[in-house]
Amino acid sequence: MTVSPRIPTFEDVKVAASRIFGVAHRTPVLTSRTADGLSGGTLFFKAENLQRAGAFKFRGAYNAVSALDAEARRKGVVAYSSGNHAQALAYAATLLGAPSVIVMPKDAPEIKVMATRGYGAEVVFFDRYKDDREAIARGISEERGMTMIPPFDHADIIAGQGTAALELIEEVGQLDVLITPLGGGGLLAGCALSAKALAPGCRVIGVEPEAGNDGQQSLHKGEVVRIAPPKSIADGALTTFVGDRNFPILQAKVDDIVTVSDAQLVQTMRFFAERMKVIVEPTGCLGAAAALRGVIDCAGKRVGIVLSGGNVDLKALSAFFAEA
């Protein structure tokens, strides 16, 4: 008998908010008159680039590990990730006294690999174009008795990520539009749960890199579409499909999914660095790029945008700007 995956609800987001309270940062909401002028709207940037471990992923990771019983924590956790979930889970596990193993692509940014190890995890590498990362992680889970916590297709992960939008709407009030980056769908699904519960009239829009629009294709087709491993500077959104738990939420609560180019991401990173004095990684700029470059109509609207992370190597950042 096939067991359907548990789909989280807004009630789960509220439980997650209580679990992470006092541990995860309640990140600031940034505004910019220049950004408002470029977009024609009133923009509120939820600065998850300033979250612990440098990305929103800490919310879901801490929620998921803290939900485990004592024996499961003793045995530890395993995950696969290109970087931000890796760091977040390693950090959360260490804070909660659990060992961790992270399966990372061998071409992951060095800064993310070093940080993951620095937070206490054992790192196992794989080739993202040849190997099955999930199978590798599952093998480690079975061999060592560790709990596998995937980066997006997990009820507690989704609920934890939804706390970012919960905090944003609590702070700034009703929104006309909420925009988040989209990789595997955990952030978008969780934030959609919060937005539709707290601001029912709010349009929820996900943004993917042009090269990896599996979510956009899936939403339009009405079923999960799998694609070949994409290539983009948005390394945190290089998934090949959205999760089984995420997709039903996206279908029910997400109004649209759009894409932006790598060039638009670089332009947006430069805007944040030069005008707002903050570092946002390429993936973290997906939503902002869509708003600032006219991909999403923000004119006259109150728009919330999640800046999902800030973990970018400074040498890489300099190279992006030099090439542009």
The active-site residue out of 208, 235, 262, 281 is 208
Residue 286 to residues 52, 54, 257, 258, 307: CA-CA distances in angstroms? 20, 16, 11, 10, 8
Catalytic, 261? Answer no
Residue of 184, 212, 215, 309 with catalytic role: 212
Residues 6+ apart with CB under 8 A from 126: 80, 103, 104, 105, 106, 133, 136
Please confirm, yes or no, whether 82 is among the known catalytic residues: yes
Residue from 46, 57, 112, 301 carrying the catalytic annotation:
57
Any catalytic annotation for residue 231?
Answer: no
Q: Detail the DSSP E strand segments found in 71-166.
A: 77-80, 100-105, 122-126, 147-148
Question: What is the b/e burial string over 194-216, where b = at least 16 CB atoms within 10 angstroms of the residue's CB?
Answer: bbbbbbeebbbbbbbbbbbbbbb
In the set 39, 66, 81, 82, the catalytic residue is 82
Q: Please list, in sequence order, all residues whose beta carbon lies within 8 angstroms of the beta carbon of residue 213, skipping any fewer than 6 positions away.
A: 227, 257, 259
| Residue 208: active-site member | yes
212 within 8 A of 237, measured Cβ to Cβ: yes
Query: Among candidates 246, 212, 216, which has minimal Cα distance to 227?
Result: 212
Catalytic residue of the set 262, 308, 309, 310: 308
Query: What residues are labeled active site?
Result: 57, 82, 208, 212, 214, 308
